[in-house]
Chains A and B, each alone.
Chain A
Amino acid sequence: MNPMNLGKTQLNAIVLLRLVIGWHFLYEGTVKLFNANWTAKYYLLSSEGFAKPIFGWLASDSLIGIVDFLNIACLIVVGLALTLGIFEKIGAIIGIGLLVMYYFAHPAFPGLDQAGTEGSYFLVNKNLIEAVALYLLFLIPTGYYFGIKRLRDNTSIQTA
């Protein structure tokens, strides 16, 4: 199972990408999980751009509890899937969903305040780049090569 006939070095590079993104999600989720005071409320309330009303609604008192729970749960699920190399495709899709939401809460559009970010961005920012990287991981799963999937699937790994 190596439809693109990737070389070992290429596969290792993709695995590395998967592991660092998994690490990033897992750490973000864990820190929020253990910090009882954390809430996405202020991030949502400070939203800018056309989706501001939606994020304002998500930050309302009736919804913010669910929003916080789902955010932490999704971050950890994505982190686990990518780090362990199992259910990577689902993990990648959830991860893209989260990142696209983060992106539209504070889009890197000209004229909008990029508060809380370092660096300079025009349309493309780090959330968008990470989402695109996840799209790549969605297309090229590597759990069968480096991950729990390897323990389950009897697939010979052919490298080019």
Chain B
Amino acid sequence: MSEEKSFSDLSRRDVIKGLAGLPIIGAVFWAGASKASSQKESRNTILETLNINASQPPDTGPMSGDPIRLGIIGFGIRGPQLCRSLGFATKTWLKNMEDSAAKNPNDTRLKSFLEQENLNVQVTAVCDLFDVRAQEAADSFSKDGVSVKIYKHHEELLASSDVDAVVIATADHWHAPIAIAALQAGKHVYLEKPMTHNIAETYALREAVQNSDRVFQVGHQHRQTQSFVTAKDVIDKNILGHVSLIQANTNRNSDNGAWQYHIHEKANPNTVDWQQFLGNAPQIPFNAEHFFRWRKWWAYGSGLSGDLMVHDYDRINCVLNMGIPRSVIASGGIYTHRDGRNVPDVMQINLEYPEFTTGPSQEPGKEKGMTLVYSASLGNQYSRTTALMGHDATMELGNRLTIYADRNSTRYKNMIKDEIIDPNVPLYQYDPSANAVDGITSATAKYFADKGLLYTYRDGKRVDSTHLHMREWLSGIRNGTKMSCGIKEGFEEAITAHMAGISYKLGRRIDWDPASGQVIPIEGYDLDEVLTKDIEKLV
């Protein structure tokens, strides 16, 4: 066995071989420390230069006081989702979620629902044109001594003194007529997107809101998305330089994504109020497919422009506040789903803003004009990012923000030259989900979630955006707080969508006159008739 050596026993060879590790340690430590500190220094320099304020929207007011009594008008697909955000789930949904959570512990949908803040509301009334659905709502939501009354027609529901406010989630062609009637009946209104089905209704609804003291909110729940507040700060601080192009997209490749919804087996002329559903649409005999898949026809729905582009348009409008485009030109066709629909399943829409500016970083004269290119397909779900492309940097906009400097940027020229900024590496990344683990279940859900349309984050915790958006509306009713998507935003969204739909159907450019606040007429055409006429294209 070994014995302790005395110092004098050591040879030079012993010392060298014994201590050879020390210089290695010194070298490795030095290399590690200098790498880390140079990274830190670059990072700090970049962050100081950008000075982005990563903040979240202010909290809305308290939910105390008497419960707000709600009427639900339209209880198809979106209606039940809105009700869950308000704290009301159907018995069927609860059962399905319990079963699903038992099979898959990662499925937290039920848990999230149960943990949601109580918004202190009562559902007192429901109206749906399909009896089975109205009955399901009434059976599920009647509780604590409050029974939910079923109304055959929205007029009767609006006349009820048991209703303070209504949530409207009908087919698009009923949005404005019901919302206007509700405001006139003194009810607060939460209205799904698109706000209206044609141009004339958009003005009529704006007037109704302006003449009413009731609280009006359009259902663009992504206005609550935390990353968009930070994105707005990025724009305000001109970090991207002059944004000349924005690309936004929809990509779906499933039956559900193409609006091929389930047709309920109990639907027939006795259980569906078909005449009421048709409203101002062409009078045709009962057609269950039209009733359940109304998004596929211009007579009731709004096509890719009104149904899906509005999500992207409003996402960008809430960051840039660019308003209605000066002109719109759209093209596309029905290329995948040749199933009798007359709305396109592939669509490209160019929105032109020749006077818009996000601010200069170059010499004068290079800071004006922007195009928003929206491109949609229901035949492919390749994920294309939403990108705001500026002279100095590009920002990918979603639940996360990622900013890349442009190699030929004016603002970052010196930092790129000094190798502080690498254009291939994100200049800035903001991820409010850093503390949350996500459990998304379907491709369509993932598509919405990535865009910041399904949920957002508060203090690192995942929250349903729709819940926050409805909370904001309820706080407006209770506390007089401001709406993030009121009539101004809804008006801009609706007019833009209608210009796109008309452009598609006529195959020509549609112009907006900001001075008169009107879509410029085209001789020989009634634009609203063009838009809602139940055929694919006029020209």
Contact = CB atoms under 8 A, between A and B. Distances in A.
Interface of A: 1, 19, 22-23, 26-27, 29-31, 33-37, 41-42, 45, 56, 61, 79-80, 83-85, 144-155
Contacts of A148: 18-19, 21
Nearest to B460: A61
Nearest to B33: A34
Interface size on B, as a range, is 20 to 34
A146 B31 CA distance: 23
Interface in B1-46: 2-5, 9-10, 14-15, 17-22, 24-25, 28-29, 31-33, 35-37, 39-40, 43
Contacts of A26: 25, 28-29, 32
Given A31-B32, A34-B33, A35-B36, A147 B5 contact: no
Contact of B28 (A27, A37, A42, A144): A27
B90 to A, nearest CB: 31
Nearest to B43: A37
Interface of B: prevailing SS: helix
Given A26-B29, A61-B435, A154-B5, A83 B15 contact: no
A152 B19 CA distance: 12
A55 to B, nearest CB: 11
B17 A150 contact: yes
A147 B17 CA distance: 6
B437 interface: yes
B220 to A, nearest CB: 31
B28 A154 contact: no
Given A151-B5, A151-B10, A146 B24 contact: no
Given A83-B24, A84-B25, A1 B19 contact: no
A80 B24 CA distance: 10
Contacts of A155: 2
B87 to A, nearest CB: 28
Shortest 9 CB-CB distances between A and B: which pairs? A30-B32, A34-B36, A153-B2, A84-B21, A151-B18, A150-B18, A83-B21, A35-B36, A155-B2
Contacts of A79: 25, 28
A20 to B, nearest CB: 10
Contacts of A35: 36, 39-40
A76 B101 CA distance: 43
Given A30-B33, A35-B39, A61-B435, A151 B24 contact: no
A144 B3 CA distance: 12
Contacts of B28: 23, 26-27, 30, 79, 83
B529 to A, nearest CB: 53
